[in-house]
């Protein structure tokens, strides 16, 4: 089948990251995909190798004119393809007597309502596609949701990973230090985390991702009145270049504790099976508080991990001590439960076939 996947890059790279993973994995399974992106520049470093079977198209005003829609149309995270493409879907439906599968791929959440809404039809009530039907597809953590993306070759790649060789290839020491990866926004608790790592009983190297995480760490270290003042030199810090999606997986596999943010890196941390801490995307109305707590409920997080998440996400004051050794079993249990469920690409394909 030919898939049209629409993606708008809002203010970070998680949306395009998810859409590229989806398109690439569909292609590896024998499908064809057109990925429509309004800001595709990030793919130059995120997926420089491209993927046979995936065509990336710049999504601009008028770019979909004269395009015949594919067999499946995916609106990622609520972005609509526009009236011209909606009209083309209606026209294709009339000509062929069968509507393309039209799927609204939603945001990830562990809240209970996701199970109730996953798979529900959404009739188009106005516009050129009036009378056609979309279908909600919710990624999630339980068998009654759409699952999470996991590539078919993931296990083989992780089993073949050589941590020492990966560190050496990037000029990073392999001196027995505890390795901690940091991918974050600007958490207020970051200075306290840096101080905690510097004061720990084990030598620690912090591997900081490029972009907002690097800027936040450097700002914390430069604040002479903050908890991180004077830590430079006491805490080993390595600033990383922009990483491909494949190399970001390698980073997660190499580290003893991973700090992740948003959706895409959370999913990769879950599949990595290493202890992790999640910074959920903050919302102005604090709706993310309930989302975070629902996830921690699903995770079966112990009190120490819950308290750390609340401090890291600014829900509670302070930042308790990290306990990665305690949290390791939680990460392994979460991965095992997810592996027992159908993953997202398989379920999305089944939904597409049923919706045509």
What DSSP element (H or E) covers 278?
A: strand 276-279
What sign results for the dihedral spanned by CA atoms 154, 10, 262, 74? negative
Query: Any idea which residues carry the catalytic annotation?
Result: 15, 263
Residue 202 makes CB contacts below 8 A (sequence gap 6+) with: 177, 178
What sign results for the dihedral spanned by CA atoms 148, 107, 208, 37? positive
Angle at 96 between CA 92 and CA 100, to 5 degrees: 55
DSSP letter at 315 equals S
| DSSP-assigned beta bridge partners for residue 276 | 258
Q: Supply the angle between the helices 303-312 and 324-339 in degrees, to the nearest 10.
A: 100
The CA distance from 279 to 281, in Å, is 7
Bridge pairing between strands 2-7 and 72-76? parallel
What DSSP element (H or E) covers 350?
A: helix 344-355
Number of helices (H), then strands (E), in the chain: 14, 12
Three-class DSSP category at 267: helix
> Which structure tokens are listed for 328?
């390791």
Q: Nearest to residue 25, comparing CAs of 278, 348, 306?
A: 348
Report residue 15: phi and psi, to 5°: -65, -50
DSSP letter at 193 equals H
Bridge pairing between strands 133-137 and 121-123? antiparallel
Residue 109 makes CB contacts below 8 A (sequence gap 6+) with: 138, 140, 291, 294, 295
């Amino acid at each position: 089948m030919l898939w049209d996947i629409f993606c708008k890059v809002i203010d970070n790279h998680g949306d395009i990251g998810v859409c590229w993973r989806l398109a690439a994995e569909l292609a590896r399974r024998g499908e064809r995909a057109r990925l429509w992106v309004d800001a595709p520049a990030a793919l130059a470093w995120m997926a420089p190798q491209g993927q046979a079977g995936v065509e990336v198209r710049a999504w601009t005003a008028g770019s979909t004119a004269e395009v015949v829609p594919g067999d499946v149309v995916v609106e990622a995270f609520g972005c609509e393809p526009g009236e011209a493409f909606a009209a083309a879907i209606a026209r294709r439906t009339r000509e062929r007597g069968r509507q393309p599968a039209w799927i609204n791929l939603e945001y990830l959440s562990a809240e209970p309502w996701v199970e109730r809404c996953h798979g529900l039809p959404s009739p188009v009530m106005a516009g050129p596609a009036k009378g056609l039907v979309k279908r909600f597809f919710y990624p999630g953590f339980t068998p009654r949701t759409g699952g999470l993306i996991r590539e078919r070759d993931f296990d083989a790649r992780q089993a073949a990973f050589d941590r020492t060789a990966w560190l050496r290839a990037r000029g990073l020491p392999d001196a027995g230090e505890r390795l901690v990866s940091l991918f974050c926004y600007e958490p207020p608790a970051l200075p306290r985390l840096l101080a905690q790592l510097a004061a720990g009983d084990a030598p620690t190297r912090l591997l900081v991702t490029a972009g907002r995480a690097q800027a936040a760490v450097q700002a914390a270290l430069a604040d002479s009145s903050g908890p991180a003042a004077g830590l430079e030199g006491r805490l080993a810090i390595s600033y990383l270049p922009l990483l491909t999606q494949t190399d970001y997986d390698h980073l997660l596999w190499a580290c003893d504790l991973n700090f992740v943010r948003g959706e895409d890196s959370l999913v990769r941390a879950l599949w990595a099976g290493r202890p992790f801490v999640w910074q959920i995307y903050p919302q102005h109305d604090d709706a993310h508080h309930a989302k975070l707590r629902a996830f921690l409920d699903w995770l079966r997080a112990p009190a120490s991990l819950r308290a750390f998440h609340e401090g890291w996400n600014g829900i509670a004051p302070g930042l308790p001590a990290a306990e990665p050794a305690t949290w390791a079993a939680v990460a392994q249990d979460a991965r095992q439960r997810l592996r027992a469920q159908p993953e997202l690409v398989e379920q999305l394909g089944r939904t597409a076939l049923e919706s045509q």
